[in-house]
Amino acid sequence: MTAIRSTQAAIVLHPSAELARFVSALQFKDIPEHVVRRCEDLFLDTMASILAGSTARAVKSMGKFGLLMGPQNGSSEDFVNRRLTSPLFAAMSNAASAHVVEQDDVHNGSVFHPAAVVFPPALAVAQAIGASGEEFITASVAGYEAGIRIGEFLGRSHYKIFHTTGTAGTVAAAVAVGRLLKLNTEQMLHAIGSAGTQAAGLWEFLRDAADSKQLHTAHAAASGLTSAYLAQDGFTGARRILEGLQGMAAGMSTDADPSKIVDRLGQRWALAETSFKFHASCRHTHPAADALQHAIRTHGLKATEISKVVTHVHQGAIDVLGPVTDPQTVHQSKFSMGTVLALIALRNSADLANFDSGLKDKAVAEFRDRVVMELDEEVDSAYPARWIGKVTVTTTDGRVVTGRVDEPKGDPGNTLSRAEIEQKALRLGTYLGASTEAEVKALIAKVWAIASEPALGRLL
């Protein structure tokens, strides 16, 4: 039992209420230092993703919508329009931008991208109310802890149809903003209720390479933020929106496990389990990409020597990547297992620039068609707790070799150093001229010092 829980241990709460109590009571001093440091790492990584995405067409559309509907002033930075506005529109722009280059973090067990839905609303509100760096970090940790557990709770059946980052993300955003607004337990429960009843996001868009992923994060950030502000004003929500008979799991999952909602709150820090993305593609491609790299290095293979790659994957990879057989856009190509492995084999890098130039590259397209996915029992049973990568490579001269990784690059056991995070931030922050190297360097310095900031101001 944690200190927070044991003080009221006599009261037995249902899972949503227990979660609300934990996140509303969470204090900076309760958070272990390595979690605080990892939170800073993840925040910088997210800022870099926001900058890298800020020139994308779909993200610009979201920014324009904010210009049309929002106020012309405020204290919250909208990094897409590079202006100050109200928290709602800053959160929407930045959340849309955070996810588009597919370089933001992911939590394996929940298959959930917390950064894109937690940091944008938390930052926008922290800037609006002048919250301290400690408060911002506490709120962000609360958002991660809630969102990841809700993603785990909703389970694999949910993820087959629903984009967990959109659904669980709405609640995560509400929790982060609610903590900044210092909601009490009762208000926080209402914020969670209002967020859960707005939770949305369907995978159908993948088939058409549509822009919905950016909409899902913007929607989660906006709806979550709205829920927290409404709760602060007394607006009420369902008390059991997660586990109730007509709640999220009832409507959108067949394998939900309510015990996950409160799994070791205060003891287990799910934020620290979150992985950085090294390749600029859908996370489902990363284990196979690293396994192929392993096979290539181990056996000294050249791309031209490879006649076939079988990737042994979990069902979720097939569900998400399966529909993408002939990618038409750069964004869609990040969901093409064949394209990702082609870039690894041909260029030894699946970074942003290689995806841009790879889309029309005939060699990439040819290699892509040599890649197949097969459901693998070992990989599928380990998933989503562990994302094992396994490939079987057949060479043009008939050899059959294998490659394997047990933790893809960026996972907690194979994480990025601060130097690697800074390098990635510089690469992403200056992508397509989104910002200057000097701006990114100043941003890096501000983020590493954020915990001691008395009141959050502008970052750029």
Minimum distance between the CB of residue 183 and its own copies, rounded to whole angstroms?
14
**Cβ partners under 8 Å of residue 275, min gap 6:** 105, 106, 107, 108, 283, 408, 410, 411, 412, 415
Minimum distance between the CB of residue 104 and its own copies, rounded to whole angstroms?
19
Largest Cα span, the chain? 71
Distance CA 193, CA 189 (A): 6
Distance CA 439, CA 79 (A): 12
Nearer to its own copies, 186 or 406 (CB): 186
Find out whether 265 and 145 touch, Cβ atoms under 8 Å.
yes
For 4, counting Cβ atoms within 10 Å of its Cβ (0-12 exposed, 13-18 middle, 19+ buried), the class is middle
Nearer to its own copies, 79 or 89 (CB): 89
Minimum distance between the CB of residue 185 and its own copies, rounded to whole angstroms?
15
* CA of residue 28 relative to chain centroid, distance: 23
Minimum distance between the CB of residue 47 and its own copies, rounded to whole angstroms?
23
Minimum distance between the CB of residue 37 and its own copies, rounded to whole angstroms?
33
Q: Please, what is the Cα angle at 166 between 73 and 126, to 5 degrees?
A: 35
Minimum distance between the CB of residue 324 and its own copies, rounded to whole angstroms?
13
Nearer to its own copies, 208 or 378 (CB): 208
Nearer to its own copies, 28 or 235 (CB): 235
- Looking at residue 215, its amino acid is L
Nearer to its own copies, 190 or 286 (CB): 190
Find out whether 89 and 107 touch, Cβ atoms under 8 Å.
no
Nearer to its own copies, 235 or 448 (CB): 235
Closest CA to 266 of 10, 450, 21, 14: 21
Phi first, then psi, for residue 8 (nearest 5°) are -125, 35
Nearer to its own copies, 321 or 350 (CB): 321
Nearer to its own copies, 28 or 65 (CB): 65
Minimum distance between the CB of residue 417 and its own copies, rounded to whole angstroms?
37
C-alpha dist (Å) from residue 347 to 213, 237, 357, 434: 27, 51, 11, 24
Minimum distance between the CB of residue 187 and its own copies, rounded to whole angstroms?
12
**Lookup result for tokens 């899972």:** 15
Residues of this chain that interact with its own copies (CB under 8 A) are 57-58, 61-62, 64-65, 68-72, 86-89, 160-162, 166, 190, 193-194, 196-212, 215-216, 219, 223, 226-227, 229-230, 233-241, 244-248, 250-252
